[in-house]
Chains A and B, each alone.
Chain A
Amino acid sequence: MFRYISGRILIGIPILFLVITIVFFAFRLIPGDAARIIAGDEAPIERVEQIRRDLGLDRPAIVQYGAYLAGLARGDLGTSFSSRRPVATEIGSRYWNTFSLALAAITVATVVGVAMGVISALFRGRWADHLVTVAALLGISIPVFWLGLLLMQLFAVELGWLPAAGYGTWQHFVMPTITLSVFSIAFITRMTRSSLLETVQQDYVRTARAKGVRERLVLFMHSLRNALLPVTIVVGLRFGYMVGGAVITEEVFAWPGLGRLLILSVAQRDIPVVQGLLLVFATSFVVVNLLVDVLYAFLDPRIRHR
């Protein structure tokens, strides 16, 4: 098990290193005078020069890259152009807001998605199955921001039950959590249903039935446990994406998280912050995948002995 985990970690590190390298050089691809473009057309020449120095654009690219790596090793992600504060501080102060929202959303998505998938498979071909199937199709088709706007119109404007936007109490969590989880609910529902229907055809399930085990027991004890293995991977993948993918949900509900910071930084072309955010998103994705791999190996002994 230890060998398996350390092997997985060793795969994640080169990916992160590639991300750092590619992102770094991608921002050197900005056509024309990068400092002028970042500063904007109306910016005074002093500011352009300052950005040029801050980015180190007056030095050779490879020297800049070395300096950036050295900074990263010290935990220094650079300084934001717009706020003049360290990027690490800007990101650190918002990380928890996004993480907690993503955690709430993936929890809801997993519970609801698995439940709906099981119901759907249990009543295969009957009205409950059709209802869930259509709901899941609508779930993957509904635009996130539209859903957010409709919820806001209904629960905040018409009924006045929930705050329209912002961050603070548990009530603030309700609408963003629903909005962020709907796509994943639909995704997990479809995955659970098909995985369960596939498992039911396996030999050991037939054996259990032949032994006379009750059908409900066959489904929950013998099939579900194995059917949920691929679902674990999907849940992990969705969660890994959510930390970076809450962009639009955060924008709709004015949620003070990393997604809004990304939008703001892209609009202002605050390159150090965008760079730092990409690194944080990639790290979250790699770490979550690592955890999923470990969990998977824990659940399925065949994998860690391979």
Chain B
Amino acid sequence: MLRNLSKTIVGFARDHKLAAFGAVIVLLFVITGIFAGQLAPKDPNQVSVRDSLVPPNAEFPLGADNNGRDVLSRIIFGARISLYVSMTSVGLAAFVGVLLGIVAAWYRWLRAPIMRLMDVLLAFPGIVIALTIIAILGRGIENVILAIAIYQIPQFARLAHGLALSAQEQTYVEAAVAGGESDVAILSRYVFPNIVAPIIVQVSLLIPGAIMTAAGLSFIGLGVPPPTAEWGAMLQLSLTWGRLAPHMTIFPGLALMLVVFGFNVLGDGLRDALDPRLKGRG
């Protein structure tokens, strides 16, 4: 079992070199997020007026911001916030969305109400829905997670709905119905396991969007509240200070782009590996 798994991974990495590179970036991102406390050279919130805006040097490898806080340490702790917000929001969206999609496929009378609601959500760009949720619930990290989850739910619901519609036509589902199994048992034991792979791919393709939206909300001042170290919030400061200290603009953006790039190429590779027909699709 374990040997098969490692064989699969090695094979995947050989066939999809760019995706393997993406996987390495994602892994580094996850490790950085989890061990931020051990990896960061300084306290990310340590203010030092004397070091305000100093360019990269031995003490501050990536320079300091307007409050003299270490940019490297803030980027490392920013990875933790990004990891936490993106994983929880996409996880929540996947759970609710897949549930809605499967239920809408199985119970015909629920199909129209659920899927029309999803259509309504899809009529708006993600950031607009997220901002609306913030307008209703107010600021704060939990509301950011909820805001991102809500705009991603229809993406999962639509996918799961389509997959479940064909999965439930299979003979083994018919057999389960004939055998008198309950709806919950059929959906969880026969339908769900057969649609799970494309959903995992969808998760990896939607995480970068979640990371970007979370940073975008902080950038416009409506996301994770300061002084929490967050990449979007760091870039917001650079709107004011970037002219004097370009390192405040360059490094947080680079971190953000690298992580998003990693997830994107990993997601592309996973999709290709899962369904070779889709190879190269936009």
A residues with CB within 8 A of B? 14-15, 18-19, 22-23, 26-27, 29-31, 37, 137-138, 140-146, 149-150, 153, 157, 187-194, 197, 234, 241, 244-245, 247-248, 251-252, 262-263, 265-267, 269, 271, 274, 278, 281-282, 285-286
Q: Given A18-B120, A244-B124, A271-B135: A251 and B220 within 8 A (CB)?
A: yes
Instruction: Specify which of A149, A263, A269, A271 lies most central, judged by the most chain B CB atoms within 10 Å of its CB.
Output: A149
Query: What is the interface of chain A mostly: helix, strand, loop, or mixed?
Result: helix
In contact, A248 and B219 (Cβ under 8 angstroms): yes
| Chain A positions within 8 Å of B134 at CB level | 266
CB B158 to nearest CB in A, in angstroms, measures: 14
| Chain A positions within 8 Å of B123 at CB level | 15, 19, 281-282, 285-286
Q: Given A146-B256, A149-B253, A266-B134: A194 and B281 within 8 A (CB)?
A: yes
In contact, B132 and A248 (Cβ under 8 angstroms): no
In contact, A265 and B243 (Cβ under 8 angstroms): no
In contact, A149 and B282 (Cβ under 8 angstroms): no
CB A12 to nearest CB in B, in angstroms, measures: 10
In contact, B135 and A146 (Cβ under 8 angstroms): no
- Neighbour of A143 across the interface among B125, B253, B265, CB < 8 A: B253
- Neighbour of B221 across the interface among A30, A144, A267, CB < 8 A: A267
In contact, A262 and B281 (Cβ under 8 angstroms): no
Q: Given A19-B120, A22-B120, A153-B243: A251 and B127 within 8 A (CB)?
A: no
| CB of B235 closer than 8 Å to a CB of A | yes
Q: Given A146-B235, A194-B281: A266 and B249 within 8 A (CB)?
A: no
| CB of B187 closer than 8 Å to a CB of A | no
In contact, A248 and B220 (Cβ under 8 angstroms): yes
CB B81 to nearest CB in A, in angstroms, measures: 15
State the CA gap A140–B282 with chains docked (Å): 11
In contact, A278 and B253 (Cβ under 8 angstroms): no
| Chain B positions within 8 Å of A146 at CB level | 235, 249, 252-253, 256-257
Name B250-282 residues within 8 Å CB distance of A. 250, 252-253, 256-257, 260-261, 264-265, 280-282
State the CA gap A282–B117 with chains docked (Å): 13
| CB of B212 closer than 8 Å to a CB of A | yes
State the CA gap A114–B132 with chains docked (Å): 34
In contact, B282 and A194 (Cβ under 8 angstroms): yes
- Neighbour of B232 across the interface among A145, A197, A234, CB < 8 A: A145
State the CA gap A37–B137 with chains docked (Å): 10
In contact, B253 and A252 (Cβ under 8 angstroms): no
Instruction: Select from chain A the residue with minimum beta-carbon distance to B215.
Output: A143
Instruction: Select from chain A the residue with minimum beta-carbon distance to B218.
Output: A145
| CB of B242 closer than 8 Å to a CB of A | yes
| Chain B positions within 8 Å of A282 at CB level | 120, 123-124
Instruction: Select from chain B the residue with minimum beta-carbon distance to A141.
Output: B261
| CB of B204 closer than 8 Å to a CB of A | no
- Neighbour of A149 across the interface among B137, B242, B260, CB < 8 A: B242
Would you list 10 pairs from A and B whose C-beta atoms are within 8 A, ordered by A residue? A14-B116, A137-B265, A138-B261, A141-B260, A141-B261, A146-B252, A188-B282, A189-B282, A191-B282, A263-B131
